Amino acid sequence: MHDKQMNVLRAEPGHGRGGGGQRPIMLAIAGDSGTGKTTLTKGLVDALGPDRITSVAADDYHRYDRNERKSLPFTPLHPKCNYIDIMEQHLQHLAFGQPILKPVYNHDTGMLDRPEYVEPREFVIIEGLLPLHTKMARACFDISVYLDPPEELRIAWKLSRDTKKRGYTEDEVRADLKKREPESERFIRPQRERADIVVRFAPIEERGETVNDPLSAKLILRPTIDHPELHQILGDDTNEAMHMTLSRTEGGKPADAVHIHSYAKPEITTKVEQAIWDQLGVDAPLPESLGRLDNDSDGRDEPLALTQLLLLYHLIQAQEALAGAGAGAGVDGD
């Protein structure tokens, strides 16, 4: 199948409706190693519950195990180090509601393990290094996100995770980062211009904040998908929590920039969150799992919560649009 066929088939109302209902809504979360993909994903999975949403790690499509990679001239960031064609194949199956036998890369042992049978749910998240690398892969997604923290912050996050959870020393992580940099530039960062939403968690330097302070978020919203009507939601009184400006992407394309401030008072961020949630018309309270950081703190990170909420908005909105298109097409056809 060509990517264009995929786009056409996916646009067809009711396509993929079988015993399992309409086709899944597919969300890509792309970003370099240590950019917070897992943390962002977890809040969404917890909000919708494992009966409604599945997440797949694109790292599972690694072609070589850790030992084999030692003698190779490239890092896991290189497309040649991954079964990109098989990932595309599996994305197509998932996008049409079909199961896959997903390979498994074990981050603890560095080995390629026994594959897992994965059935898509209503929503599927693919998070990893290269989900937006090819045209065909991009054609499979309804919503795409690129995580783009400042390099200093990413290094701090990666050091912390790889030394605490993956058994590497700090020197090993730093040497690895250096080796990966040319491939980050060549293969990972070009995905930023392909995403519907670019998320940048960062300290606000003008306020003297560092990477150890609570982070603000800047979201670049490209007009490639329909974003919520934030202009209506964001009044003068919510400016402290969040504001929106007309902006450009790094590649120079027009986009909205949404700033979510870490220092906003909870009563104001809650008001914004509730307003976004209300736009969806969902008969359920705002999910409590949003904004949970991947550490021991019980606190809620408001910029993370608002970012996750925006993605949740898109997931639910895309599903409603698909259901509506199906119903509408049925009427037209009669």
* Residues of this chain that bind a copy of itself (CB under 8 A): 63, 65, 83, 85-86, 89, 93, 98-101, 103, 111-115, 117
- To a copy of itself, the closest distance from the beta carbon of 162 in angstroms equals 23
DSSP string, 8-45: HHHHSTTTT-BTTBSPPEEEEEEE-TTSSHHHHHHHHH
- Tokens representing 214? 């609570």
| Sheet with 53-57, edge to edge strand ranges | 53-57, 123-128, 25-31, 143-147, 197-202, 216-221, 254-260, 242-248
**Contact status, residue 27 vs residue 315, Cβ threshold 8 Å:** yes
- To a copy of itself, the closest distance from the beta carbon of 254 in angstroms equals 38
Alpha-carbon span 213 to 159, nearest angstrom: 17
- To a copy of itself, the closest distance from the beta carbon of 126 in angstroms equals 16
- To a copy of itself, the closest distance from the beta carbon of 41 in angstroms equals 23
Q: Which is nearer to a copy of itself, 115 or 182 (CB)?
A: 115
Q: Which is nearer to a copy of itself, 103 or 203 (CB)?
A: 103
Q: Which is nearer to a copy of itself, 89 or 224 (CB)?
A: 89
Helix, strand counts (H, E) of the chain: 10, 10
For residue 333, what is the enclosing H or E element?
A: helix 302-333
Q: Which is nearer to a copy of itself, 41 or 92 (CB)?
A: 92
Q: Which is nearer to a copy of itself, 110 or 214 (CB)?
A: 110
Q: How many residues comprise the chain?
A: 334
Q: Which is nearer to a copy of itself, 113 or 172 (CB)?
A: 113
For the beta carbon of residue 150, count every other beta carbon within 10 angstroms: 15
Let me know the angle formed at the C-alpha of 209 by 205 and 212, rounded to the nearest 5 degrees: 130
- To a copy of itself, the closest distance from the beta carbon of 27 in angstroms equals 23
Q: Which is nearer to a copy of itself, 78 or 192 (CB)?
A: 78
For the beta carbon of residue 206, count every other beta carbon within 10 angstroms: 6
Q: Which is nearer to a copy of itself, 7 or 89 (CB)?
A: 89
- To a copy of itself, the closest distance from the beta carbon of 234 in angstroms equals 46
- To a copy of itself, the closest distance from the beta carbon of 112 in angstroms equals 4
- To a copy of itself, the closest distance from the beta carbon of 98 in angstroms equals 7
Alpha-carbon span 140 to 226, nearest angstrom: 17
b/e per residue, 100-133, with b = 16+ CB within 10 A? bebbebeeeebebeeeeebebbbbbbbbbbbbbb
In the three-class reduction of DSSP (H, G, I as helix; E, B as strand; rest coil), residue 158 is classed as: helix
